[in-house]
Structure 1
Amino acid sequence: MSIRKPYSDVPGTTIFDADMSRIGYHLNQFCMSLMTEDNRERFKKDQRAYLDEWPMSEEQKLAVLDRDYNRMIAAGGNIYFLAKIFSTDGISFQAAASTMTGMNVEEYVQMMIDGGRTPTGNLYKEGEK
C-alpha cells in the first residue's frame, strides 16, 4: 500500500523522508565514514575501491564518482551527509550547492543574497494549489 505524499509534487525538490532514508542508508553511511582522516585518505587514494566496500547501488557509486549531488540526493543522499564528500574534496558548501543549480559560485551567492529562487512556477507540478 502506497502512502500519498503531497510533498512529492514540488518541482525540483526531493524530500528526505523515511523512504529516502532507507534507499540512501548505505550512501549516507559511506559519507559518514569520511569523518575520519584515515578513511578520507583511503577514499582519495582509490575512490572506486573504497566505494566498492559499501553495499550501495551502482547508480549511487557512479553519482559519487561523478560528484553529481543532484543524482546522489535522488538516490537517497541527504545533503548534510553529502557535505562530507565535498569537504573531503576541499570545496565549500556554496560551491557544491552552485553545481546543483547550474550556476557558478558567484551567481549562486548573488541569488541567495537576493532572497533565493522565486516561488513562481516552483510550488507544484500540477499548477498552483
Structure 2
Amino acid sequence: MTFPFVNDWLYAGFAFAAGLLFSISGFCSDFRAPDFSISTRVQGGQIEIVAHPPAHHHFNVQAPMFLVQEGGRVKPTQATEARVRFSISRSHLRPDAHVSLYLCDDRKTFCENHQVRVTAPGNSPRPEPRIPSPKAQN
C-alpha cells in the first residue's frame, strides 16, 4: 500500500533542501574579504609599493605573491603577514600593474586571492580626451 501524501512530502522536502543549498552557495560567494590597501612612495628612481591587509585579515606568505604587469612579474622585497613590500624602477612600472596576494582571515577559516591595481605617480593611465557635448557648446 502506498501513501501519495508521503511521496508529495518527500518531494517537497527535497525541493526545499535543493533550493536552500543553491541559495546558500550563491549567498556565500558574496562573502569575500575586503581588498587590501596599497600605499606608494617614490624614492629617487624607485617606487616602493606596500600592501596592507584589512582589519582582522593577514597575508598568506607561503602563497604566490607578485606585482603583475604586461611583460612580467616582480617578487616582493619583503613579506610578512602584516605587510608586503615591492620595489620597482619608476620607468618599469606600467599602467596595467596590479598586486596579486592571498588574503586570509585571522581565524584562519579561509584564504582567497585578491588583485588590486597599483596607482602611482607616472603609471596612471592617461584620461581619454573629452569631447564636449553639443549642449555644452551652446
| Same fold flag (TM > 0.5) | no
Question: Which of 1 and 2 has greater Rg?
Answer: 2
TM-score between the two structures when normalised by the length of structure 2: 0.26
TM-score between the two structures when normalised by the length of structure 1: 0.27
- Greater RCO, CA 8 A, separation 6+: 1
Q: Greater strand share, 1 or 2?
A: 2
Q: Greater helix share, 1 or 2?
A: 1
